[in-house]
Structure 1
């Protein structure tokens, strides 16, 4: 009897809701019809999430071939517009730059970005402008980057010494992916906190602290998928916390916050130092109401997430391309030998004398942008793009990967040809590995310096060959930063210049 009563009640409730919905739809004033970008057929509730196959940039490129360079998808309850043409991108970041300067509010950014208050995740406004000003003056200014040149130089030398351990007499096989990751993390952490957390078992002062940091960063990158998590767009999945995503994010955020707070507290007890934390703490004394510990932790977090994985991935793609194009590698080495000499190790200030090396880096950024869909934007108001209506609170994704390979923009678009940047064939405005507009990456200068110094040094100091006769596998893996699917292994042999380097003293920190 109880079961019959329960089922009857539920049936009446469903019917009542259905009648109310029908009555509401029939009597409400019709909203003006919007001219939305074209879209494929969708499913109830999930929309087009079933089409979001990884890697997303390739999936979106395929859809753009059918629906045009501006099309829309429904990710659950959220409208997403994807643009894949230079003209549409230009319209986004000129006429609509302010309207599209917001970031989407996601579970990931809520928990891992201090409730959307970091420079990467915060909405466009006074708070973001202050963070951007701080980063431009105190972190990424030319003067500040020059101050930390010694760290980049030292970490690159450590990498070269590690590579040379077994390669003086003959070629030896090395796995470069992990080495590039260690290089970029040590550079950033030394700039931020004066510590090394990666070191081949040497020159790491606190092994347990280093292990904890490495584990935290690994978890951060695994869980920072953001726009690729279905829970972000389907309320029901959020309510039931499908896959325990929110619980996992909350625990990770708590542990990372405690770790970063420990770094800050340590520096508060030691006022002598030239790290970024020291500098930010000195500003905290004069403006304690703004330079709070949370603001400082947010700035550190953005540097760690934005300045490490991206540069390491760019180095791995660059070396992979050079191994598959030995003639380009040979030409780059000849430029280094001619401009720098075979006795002097190249340095950052030498980059203007190495246009071909710069072209190799630009071509790597073009074919293999570390953020193929850039960082998602969000419209703060209604706007139009390419004649289509884009409503408020629409997520915008820019398929930089597709634009970088557009045959209408680039000659022989899918080929690795650094010469295009020397011969004036390329439009540099269509190269956007660091984003465009107000929310473009402020760390572009640091990334270019790190990649330039490391790549030039690797070419100058070693002979390089593929492990076998087959070309290096250039398959893209899954992730927001487009890693290689197969970690890069190569054969290297030290050149005579390494004898000079090995005799130099390294200022260990």
Structure 2
């Protein structure tokens, strides 16, 4: 009857009716927002919202905003809702108390283009396929037993790295740390996944790979306008998506080559299959259901994860640690003193030495605190609307935990801008661990979607940093250390560290073994 009657309304009456409906809806939204208050946050601008406020260093900009708006902050970024947690307690609420509502990733251009439409382990939807990727990775590469099984490969690759550095010292050349770290780590990962070194020499191919890794980790961290203002996505105003497609093609060519070469030599590894053999066997298992099997795309995407995040995050942490030690010679001296007492100067450091080197471990923790590899945790998205600490969080809200801000929180850390490893030897902080249980220090995230490589990352950083410090005296090759950051998924040092090294051990300690 209402619809029939509406046919006889005048145009003026119809307009008035529509206006009344809009007004009622507006008033209802105001009433609901007062009953369900959003977290405080900046107002932003029409259309783009708070996007311009993030600037070139979003983690720093968001940390400054949190000082005004509080530990749980809401932003309208384009047409998307975003909530940011900036303290340990706030992070714990989202990543532990309400974790089940924040297990998935938002759909963005980065994982869609670079990560094979989110078919990898990092961005895959939470579910059976993600659990399978995680399970296989832990069993055969990233878990405790797997790490023990591949310890000889790590030692051998560090031998190659030390030999190359020793040769540089003999020639009087500075060591470019980022290059030599990527060389060692890519080869370590290659030997586990592919049963071979990825790079035989440090040449043009290695430099191209390093540039590709840095580009991926930087590009994937950009706040892409099209991700937040959907109707503008097709324009690709920043050119980000065009660059991603070109980069994806380079990585896909590289990974496809690896797969083809590996399949040709598969018969040689029947007695000791590597990680890629395990994944291929799973793919080809005719007795498994589709949910229990990987696709070729899953395998490619996982290889991309392991070769990029596995090399970049650990290498950047070691580079930041050495940069801080070169800025603070007393820290370097104390590390040398501890190692000389425990290890001496007649042999190389081995992994079993690390538990006896608390000062080295403290240096690594302090690096994770001040220079977290991932300054903003990889974003998550709310599956349903929820109320957190009295604040209404709408459905499909993007969650960012500002790990960088947590590490600089003066309510948690005394003099947080100082690099002070001794803090982790004090009673207050000694038991704090970076593996996701202590929300004051979560460089790898926390909860079910914590970085799968957390254990491996800690081992690699402690072992490689300890070996570099124990094996050489270091001298910065420049006037003043530049400590500026470059934002991305991983927090890069803007100016790569180059330093002169002088051997501290007998020459035989610098010979590579196979």
Shorter-chain TM-score bucket reads 0.7 to 0.9
Pairwise CA RMSD: 2.5
Alignment of structure 1 residues 196-207 onto 2, 5 Å: 196-201=197-202
Cα deviation, 1:388-421, whole Å, max 9, x if unaligned, reads 1111110111111111111211122221111221
Alpha-carbon distance between aligned partners in 1 of 2:347 and 2:111, rounded to the nearest angstrom: 46
- Tell me which residue corresponds to 1:383: 386
The alpha carbon displacement at 1:185 in A equals: 2.3
CA distance in 1, matches of 2:512, 2:165: 17
1:127 match: 129
Residue 312 of structure 1, CA deviation: 0.8
Q: How many angstroms apart in 1 are the aligned matches of 2:211 and 2:65?
A: 37
Secondary structure of the 1:108 match is: helix
Q: Identify the residue that residue 43 of structure 1 maps to in structure 2.
A: 45
Ranges in structure 2 where 5+ consecutive residues have no aligned partner: 1-14
Equivalent pair of 1:197/1:214 in contact (CA under 8 Å): no
Question: Residue 408 and residue 28 in structure 1: after superposition, are their counterparts in 2 closer, same or farther (change >3 A)?
Answer: closer
CA drift at 1:184: 2.1
Choose which of 417, 432, 444 in structure 1 pairs with 2:454. Answer: 444
Q: What is the CA–CA distance in structure 2 between the aligned matches of 1:488 and 1:501, rounded to whole Å?
A: 24
Structure 2 counterparts to residues 35-434 of structure 1, below 5 A: 35-168=37-170, 173-201=174-202, 213=209, 216-217=212-213, 219-226=215-222, 228-271=223-266, 272-273=268-269, 274-286=273-285, 287=288, 289=290, 290-426=293-429, 427-428=432-433, 429=438, 430-434=440-444
Q: How many residues were matched structurally?
A: 480
Q: Secondary structure at the match of 1:493?
A: strand
The offset of 1:292, in angstroms, is 2.1
Give the whole-Å Cα distance in 2 for the aligned partners of 1:261 and 1:22: 59
Contact 1:186 1:197 in 2 (8 A): yes
Which deviations, in whole Å up to 9, do the C-alpha atoms of 1:99-126 show, x marking residues without a partner?
A: 1111111011112222222211112222
Conserved 8 A contact 2:224-2:238: no
The separation in 2 between residues aligned to 1:458 and 1:212, in whole angstroms, is 24
Give SS of 2:99's match. coil
Change in 2 beyond 3 A, CA 1:222/1:374: closer
Give the Cα separation in 2 of the matches to 1:244 and 1:465.
40
Cα distance in 2 for residues equivalent to 1:386 and 1:23: 35
Length-normalised TM-score, structure 2: 0.87
User: What is the CA deviation profile of residues 174-203 of structure 1, one whole-angstrom value per residue up to 9, with x for unaligned ones?
Assistant: 32222222222222233222343445447x
Q: CA offset at residue 239 of structure 1?
A: 2.5
Give the SS at the match of 2:83.
Answer: strand
**Structure 1 residues not aligned, in runs of 5+:** 1-17
Tell me, in whole angstroms, the C-alpha distance in 1 between the residues paired with 2:232 and 2:17.
25
Contact 1:411 1:425 in 2 (8 A): no
Pairwise CA distance, 1:317: 0.4
Q: Deviations over 1:133-164 (max 9, x none)?
A: 22222221222222222221122122211221
361 and 20 in structure 1: CA distance in 2 versus 1, 3 angstrom threshold: farther
Q: Would you say the 8 A contact 2:217–2:490 is kept in 1?
A: no
TM-score (norm 1): 0.88
Deviation per CA, 1:458-504, whole angstroms, max 9, x where unpaired? 11111112335x55222222322111122112222112x241224x4
Cα displacement (A) at 1:82: 0.8
Aligned-partner SS, 1:492: strand
Identify if the C-alpha distance between structure 1 residues 149 and 372 changes in structure 2 by more than 3 Å, giving closer, same or farther: same
Alpha-carbon distance change, 280 to 37 in structure 1, aligned in 2, over 3 angstroms: same
Task: Indicate the SS of the match to 2:147.
Answer: helix
Write the distance in 2 (CA, Å) between the matches of 1:50 and 1:20. 38
